[in-house]
Amino acid sequence: MRILLVEDDMEAAGYLVKGLNEIGHAVDHADDGESGLSYAKTNAYDAMVIDRMMPRKDGISMIEDLRRGGDNTPVLILSALDDVDERVTGLRAGGDDYLTKPYSLSELHARLQALSRRAQPENAVTTLRVADLTLDLLKHKVTRSGANINLQPREFRLLEYLMRHAGQVVTRSMLLENVWDYHFDPQTNVIDVQISRLRSKIDKDFEQPLLHTVRGAGYKLVEG
């Protein structure tokens, strides 16, 4: 998932960004509500995590502005205020879930996954296929010719992106922005290293390679 985190506590934000990145998500961080709105208006997110109390614009006001503008991205509210009235206020403002501090990363992640599932339309694609390679988004499972392939979270996200763009040339810049959410020199070798690891898992033991390097352009996942 691509997630927007709006949190003014830099220590808490750093903990969440690091933890969610390690799980395999791409995270943008804003430290106040005004900056959060700017991010939300210029980028597409699968979910947002918004702190209740922030400078410049508080979380409730930010969510109300989002909903008035037609943005229906699932929102998880974080707050140290745990009484019922505060929860009701947050949900009525347009929040989809409410998590009180302190919290665990595992619970926050589980709640984000639940919000993402509920936001999926009934006909949403949950399984991706290229030749005999299958990726199940709900079970977080990858198989090829029926054999299980164990991927790390970042490898899974990389493969998902490549499969969603099967048959197309995917550039390093596209991968950095959508899989790592980095905005720096696309010549960095982090892409080559991860592609090599992924290729060794999905192609090495199979007769037909699926992941191809397009010299001077990027990569392509394609049958044949």
The count of C-alpha atoms lying within 13 angstroms of the C-alpha of 41, restricted to the half-sphere facing its C-beta, is: 12
H/E stretch holding 14 reads helix 10-23
Distance CA 224, CA 50 (A): 45
Distance between CA atoms of 131 and 208, rounded to whole angstroms? 10
- Using the Cα atoms of residue 216, residue 181, residue 126 and residue 69 in order, give the sign of their dihedral: negative
Question: Per-residue pLDDT for the chain (224 aa), expressed as one digit of tens each?
Answer: 889 999 999 999 999 999 998 887 888 999 999 999 999 998 888 899 999 999 889 999 999 999 999 999 999 999 988 889 988 999 999 999 999 988 999 999 999 988 887 776 655 678 999 999 999 987 889 999 999 999 988 899 899 999 999 999 998 888 887 787 665 555 668 888 999 999 999 999 898 999 999 998 899 999 86
Contact by Cβ (8 Å): 159, 137: no
What class is the 127-221 domain?
mainly alpha
- Tokens standing for 123? 């006909």
Distance CA 176, CA 108 (A): 25
- CA–CA gap between residue 99 and residue 52 (Å, rounded): 10
Provide the whole-model pTM: 0.66
Structural domain boundaries in the chain:
2-119, 127-221
CATH number, span 2-119: 3.40.50.2300
CB within 8 Å of 44: residues ≥ 6 apart? 2
Phi, psi of 127 (to 5 degrees): -135, 130
